[in-house]
Structure 1
Amino acid sequence: MNSSELDSFLREYTFYERFLLSKINPKDINSLQNFIKNNYFDEKIMKKFALFDSSSIENALINSQKPFDNRTIFNLTDDITFVCHPRFAETPEHHHNYIEMIYVYSGEFHQTVNGNKIEMKKGEFCLLDTNVVHSIAQTSENDIIINCVMSKKYLDDILINRLSGNDLISSFFIHAIYQSNNYNDYILFRSEESEILAKLMEYVLCEYFDSSLCSSEVINSYMVIIFSELLRVFENQSNSENYGLLKNTKITDIILYIQNNCKDATLASVAEQFHFHPTYLGSIIKKFQGNNFISILQDAKLKKACFLLKNSDLSILDISKSIGYENTNFFYKIFKKNYECTPSEYRKKHKLN
Structure 2
Amino acid sequence: MDFKELTEQEKFLKKLYQGQYREILSVPMQYATYQKLMKEHPQLQIEEDLYTKYSKDHHGITVVDVEKTTENAEINMVRHSRYSYPILHNHSFVEIAYVYSGKCTHYVENQAFEMKEGDLCILAPESMHTITALDDESIVLNILMSKKQLDESFLAMVKEKHLLADFFENILYGKSVSPYIIFPTGQDEWIKLVYEHMFQEITEKRYAYRQSLELYVRQLFIHIIRNYEMLAQVSKPLDRKPDENVVAVLGYISVNYNKVTLKNVAEFFNYSESYMSRMLKKYTGKTFGVLVNSLQMKCAAEMLSTTDKSLSEISQEVGCFDYSHFSKKFKKEYDMTPDMYRRNHRLI
| 2:335 alignment partner in structure 1 | 330
1:253 aligns with 2:253: no
The counterpart of 2:89, out of the listed 88, 94, 101, is 94
Q: Secondary structure at the match of 2:91?
A: coil
Q: Distance in 1 between matches of 2:299 and 2:185?
A: 33
Aligned length: 265
1:201 aligns with 2:205: no
| 2:245 alignment partner in structure 1 | 242
Alpha-carbon offset, residue 190 of structure 1: 0.5
The counterpart of 2:143, out of the listed 128, 145, 148, is 148
One-letter identity of the residue aligned with 1:151: S
| 1:42 alignment partner in structure 2 | none
Q: Secondary structure at the match of 1:13?
A: coil
The counterpart of 2:204, out of the listed 199, 210, 218, is 210
What residue ranges of structure 2 are gaps of 5+ in the alignment? Answer: 22-36, 234-242, 254-258, 267-275, 301-314, 342-348
Equivalences for 1:34-73 in 2 at 5 Å?
51=50, 68-71=60-63
Q: Which deviates further from its counterpart, 225-234 or 128-137?
A: 128-137
One-letter identity of the residue aligned with 1:70: T
Q: Secondary structure at the match of 1:111?
A: strand
Q: Deviations over 1:83-110 (max 9, x none)?
A: 1111113524322110000011111011
Q: Secondary structure at the match of 1:93?
A: coil
Q: Distance in 2 between matches of 1:169 and 1:76?
A: 32
Q: Secondary structure at the match of 2:13?
A: helix
**Closer/same/farther in 2, CA of residues 131 and 31 from structure 1, 3 Å limit:** closer
Q: Distance in 2 between matches of 1:242 and 1:217?
A: 36
| 2:216 alignment partner in structure 1 | 222
Q: Distance in 1 between matches of 2:9 and 2:163?
A: 37
Q: Distance in 1 between matches of 2:180 and 2:221?
A: 14
| 1:76 alignment partner in structure 2 | 69
Q: Distance in 2 between matches of 1:137 and 1:93?
A: 11
Q: Distance in 1 between matches of 2:9 and 2:153?
A: 33
Alpha-carbon offset, residue 293 of structure 1: 4.5
Q: Distance in 1 between matches of 2:40 and 2:134?
A: 24
Q: Deviations over 1:55-95 (max 9, x none)?
A: xxxx97xx9xx984224897533311111111113524322
**Closer/same/farther in 2, CA of residues 72 and 17 from structure 1, 3 Å limit:** farther
One-letter identity of the residue aligned with 2:262: D
Instruction: Give the RMSD, CA atoms, in angstroms.
Output: 5.3
Q: Calculate percent identity across the aligned residue pairs.
A: 21
Q: Deviations over 1:211-260 (max 9, x none)?
A: 212322222211111011111233342599439x97xx995336999xxx
**Closer/same/farther in 2, CA of residues 121 and 329 from structure 1, 3 Å limit:** closer
The counterpart of 1:12, out of the listed 5, 12, 15, is 5
Q: Secondary structure at the match of 2:141?
A: strand
| 2:114 alignment partner in structure 1 | 119
TM-score after normalising by structure 1: 0.55
The structure in which a higher percent of residues are helix is: 1
Q: Are 1:271 and 1:277, in contact at CA under 8 Å, matched by a contact in 2? A: no
What residue ranges of structure 1 are gaps of 5+ in the alignment? Answer: 1-5, 37-45, 53-58, 258-269, 307-319, 338-353
| 1:313 alignment partner in structure 2 | none
Q: Which entry has the higher C-alpha Rg, 1 or 2?
A: 1
| 2:279 alignment partner in structure 1 | 273
Alpha-carbon offset, residue 328 of structure 1: 11
Q: Distance in 1 between matches of 2:42 and 2:232?
A: 55
Q: Secondary structure at the match of 1:89?
A: coil
**Closer/same/farther in 2, CA of residues 117 and 232 from structure 1, 3 Å limit:** farther
Q: Secondary structure at the match of 1:192?
A: coil
Alpha-carbon offset, residue 180 of structure 1: 6.7
| 1:265 alignment partner in structure 2 | none
| 1:186 alignment partner in structure 2 | 180
